[in-house]
């Protein structure tokens, strides 16, 4: 997507260890990229002929380009928080070659024109941008948007993210329309009737701080309803965004067992942090859904390992300092996440919880590619797009928010020591990021 005239016609990635779960590959391999596609993948030193550029990947993992199903790049309308250019630069730094953008911008992306606008080269994206369009007009939860037109313009799914689709009939109709078009409906599952004025998870910490808490049931009840609808409507596709509670996972499992087309994503902060980490009103730990209880996090870790979760998604939500340096209850919901996702997955999931690297790579590649049918991506099969993420699973480093490529620095992970670092990101056969 990034038309880089200086990019080499071919790159040979030599000496690396390829993990490509979709192709069931987990072995030392060389990879040849040519003209924006994967040209060849073969055992070490078996690729004949030269390449414009050789990349020494010894000691590194070579994976299909990572896909983030859930980012807020804030354009149109909120470019003081982030732009497509800065947000995709942060994505590249975090190893993401494709990001799916949420429509809760100003205005809301609820027309084909805005979907087209997001994909124009003038936006300066350095990774692939796949717009998710609003499911209802202005995301008001009432009148559905023109799904067919949005899909033709390039939308890969519809959602009212930031808000739920609460009304039963609206959700049913959205799933029906989505079923006809093979278009996933993404739900931000929050029964807002139970979360009015709430700013964190309901539990001992919210009580101690005197903050109104969102009960776990506010998420689980809605996921439960949606899964039931998805089971009733043939061929409908439901994707549960940023799932955060144990009970919501139970509903997703029920749907999957019944062979409904139900998928879900989990964020790095929900598998890493707990509600008590809010500490003394630290607004960089305020997001929606909120950080949950230890039992919820435990259930999420199990579901990440056992295959219930389809993808890790960041819910990258940049906000300006003046929107976070305020009273906790008034602070904006959301944290940035593109540059810390892989490091958290390796540090927490792999090293601490012993989830294999192959599974982690699947959660960043084959899993999300399947959720939104991103054809030609999520695997390094020959002929696929030349999107590659190369990382060092053993490299120790410290994340510094001040050095972030994102326009905003609202992260809870500033100063954290990590293991696992992105070394290079290749989009369409060209480097978009190389670690110094």
Partner 1 sequence: MMHRLNSHAMNKPARGSLLGIEHLEDGEILGLLKLARRMNPLKARPLLRNRRIVLLFYEASTRTRSSFEVAAKSMGAMTILVQSSGSSIEKGESLLDTAYTLRAVGADAIVVRHPSAGAPLLMAQHLDIPVINAGDGMHEHPSQALLDAFTILKHKKSFKSLQIAIIGDIYHSRVARSACHLLSRFGSKVILCGPPELIPDFAATLAPGLRITRHIEEALRGTDVIMLLRVQQERLAGRKIHLQDYMARYQMTTSRLKLAKRDAIVMHPGPIIRGLELTSEVVDGPNSVIVDEVHNGVPTRMAILARALGKAR
Query: Which residue's CB is nearer to partner 1, number 117 or number 281?
Result: 281
Tell me: does residue 218 bind partner 1 (CB under 8 A).
Answer: no
Spatial CA neighbour of 344 closest among 273, 241, 428: 273
Tell me which of 56, 107, 326, 394 binds partner 1, using CB under 8 A.
326
- Measured over the CA atoms of residue 427, residue 313, residue 255 and residue 302, the dihedral's sign is positive
Query: Which residue's CB is nearer to partner 1, number 182 or number 417?
Result: 417
Tell me: does residue 417 bind partner 1 (CB under 8 A).
Answer: yes
Tell me: does residue 352 bind partner 1 (CB under 8 A).
Answer: yes
Residue identified by tokens 């049918």 is 373
CB of 351 to partner 1, least distance (A): 7
Query: Which residue's CB is nearer to partner 1, number 212 or number 395?
Result: 212
Query: Which residue's CB is nearer to partner 1, number 298 or number 325?
Result: 325
Please give the Cα distance from 196 to 207 (Å, whole number): 16
Query: Which residue's CB is nearer to partner 1, number 152 or number 330?
Result: 330
> Active-site residue 315, yes or no?
yes
CB of 162 to partner 1, least distance (A): 21
Please give the Cα distance from 88 to 128 (Å, whole number): 8
Judged by CB under 8 A, the chain residues 147 through 186 that form the site for partner 1 are: none
Query: Which residue's CB is nearer to partner 1, number 267 or number 347?
Result: 347
CB of 194 to partner 1, least distance (A): 8
Tell me: does residue 350 bind partner 1 (CB under 8 A).
Answer: no
Quote the tokens at residue 136: 């209802």
CB of 103 to partner 1, least distance (A): 28
Judged by CB under 8 A, the chain residues 370 through 409 that form the site for partner 1 are: 398, 401
Tell me: does residue 295 bind partner 1 (CB under 8 A).
Answer: no
CB of 329 to partner 1, least distance (A): 5
Peptide bond into 76 cis (omega under 30): yes
Q: How many CB atoms lie within 10 A of CB 169?
A: 7
Cross-strand bridge partners of residue 41:
31
Judged by CB under 8 A, the chain residues 68 through 127 that form the site for partner 1 are: none
Residues that contact partner 1, how many (by CB under 8 A): 34
Enumerate residues 6+ apart whose C-beta is below 8 A from 95: 65, 66, 341, 342, 364, 389, 391, 422, 425, 433
Of 315, 373, 414, 436, which is the active-site residue? 315
Query: Which residue's CB is nearer to partner 1, number 18 or number 211?
Result: 211
CB of 59 to partner 1, least distance (A): 22
Q: Which phi and psi angles does 128 have, rounded to 5°?
A: -70, 135
Tell me: does residue 196 bind partner 1 (CB under 8 A).
Answer: yes
Tell me: does residue 414 bind partner 1 (CB under 8 A).
Answer: yes
The torsion angle over the Cα atoms of residues 129, 192, 79 and 397, rounded to 10 degrees, is: -70
The CA-atom distances, in angstroms, between 365 and each of 244, 360, 368 are 21, 9, 6
Please give the Cα distance from 65 to 376 (Å, whole number): 11
Tell me: does residue 349 bind partner 1 (CB under 8 A).
Answer: no
Spatial CA neighbour of 251 closest among 216, 275, 227: 227
Tell me: does residue 416 bind partner 1 (CB under 8 A).
Answer: yes
Q: How many CB atoms lie within 10 A of CB 274?
A: 18
Tell me which of 121, 327, 354, 383 binds partner 1, using CB under 8 A.
327
- Measured over the CA atoms of residue 261, residue 157, residue 217 and residue 300, the dihedral's sign is positive
Contact positions vs partner 1 (CB under 8 A): 193-194, 196-197, 203-204, 207-212, 280-282, 322, 325-330, 347-348, 351-352, 398, 401, 414-419
Active-site amino acid positions: 315
């Amino acid at each position: 997507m990034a038309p880089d005239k200086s990019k080499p016609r071919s790159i040979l990635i030599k000496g690396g260890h390829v993990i490509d779960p979709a192709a069931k590959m987990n072995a030392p391999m060389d990879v040849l990229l040519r003209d924006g596609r994967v040209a060849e993948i073969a055992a070490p030193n078996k690729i004949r002929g030269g390449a414009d550029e050789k990349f020494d990947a010894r000691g590194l993992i070579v994976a299909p380009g990572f896909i983030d199903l859930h980012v807020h790049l804030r354009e149109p309308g909120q470019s003081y928080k982030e732009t497509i250019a800065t947000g995709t630069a942060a994505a590249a730094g975090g190893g993401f070659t494709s990001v799916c953008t949420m429509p809760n911008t100003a205005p809301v992306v609820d027309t084909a024109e805005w979907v087209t606008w997001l994909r124009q080269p003038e936006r300066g994206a350095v990774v692939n941008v796949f717009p998710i369009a609003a499911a209802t007009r202005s995301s008001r939860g009432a009148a559905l948007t023109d799904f067919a037109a949005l899909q033709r313009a390039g939308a890969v799914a519809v959602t009212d993210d930031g808000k739920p689709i609460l009304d039963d009939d609206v959700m049913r109709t959205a799933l029906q329309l989505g079923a006809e078009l093979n278009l996933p409906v993404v739900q931000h599952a929050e029964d807002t009737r139970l979360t009015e004025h709430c700013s964190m998870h309901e539990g001992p910490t919210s009580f101690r701080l005197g903050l109104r808490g969102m009960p776990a049931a506010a998420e689980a009840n809605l996921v439960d309803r949606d899964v039931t609808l998805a089971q009733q409507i043939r061929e409908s596709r439901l994707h549960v965004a940023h799932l955060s509670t144990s009970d919501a996972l139970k509903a997703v499992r029920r749907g999957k067992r019944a062979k409904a087309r139900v998928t879900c994503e989990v964020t790095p902060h929900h598998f890493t942090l707990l509600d008590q980490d809010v500490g003394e009103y630290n607004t960089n730990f305020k997001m929606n859904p909120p950080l949950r209880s230890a039992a919820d996090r435990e259930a999420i870790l199990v579901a990440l390992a056992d295959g219930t979760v389809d993808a890790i998604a960041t819910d990258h939500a940049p906000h300006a300092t003046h929107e976070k340096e305020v009273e906790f209850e008034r602070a904006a919901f959301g944290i940035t996440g593109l540059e810390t996702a892989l490091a958290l997955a390796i540090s927490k999931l792999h090293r601490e919880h012993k989830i294999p690297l192959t599974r982690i790579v699947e959660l960043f590649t084959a899993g999300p590619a399947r959720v939104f049918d991103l054809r030609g991506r999520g695997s390094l099969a020959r002929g696929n797009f030349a999107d590659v993420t190369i990382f060092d699973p053993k490299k120790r480093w410290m994340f510094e928010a001040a050095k972030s490529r994102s326009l905003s620095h609202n992260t809870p992970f500033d100063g954290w020591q990590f293991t696992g670092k992105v070394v290079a990101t290749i989009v369409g056969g060209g480097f978009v990021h190389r670690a110094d």
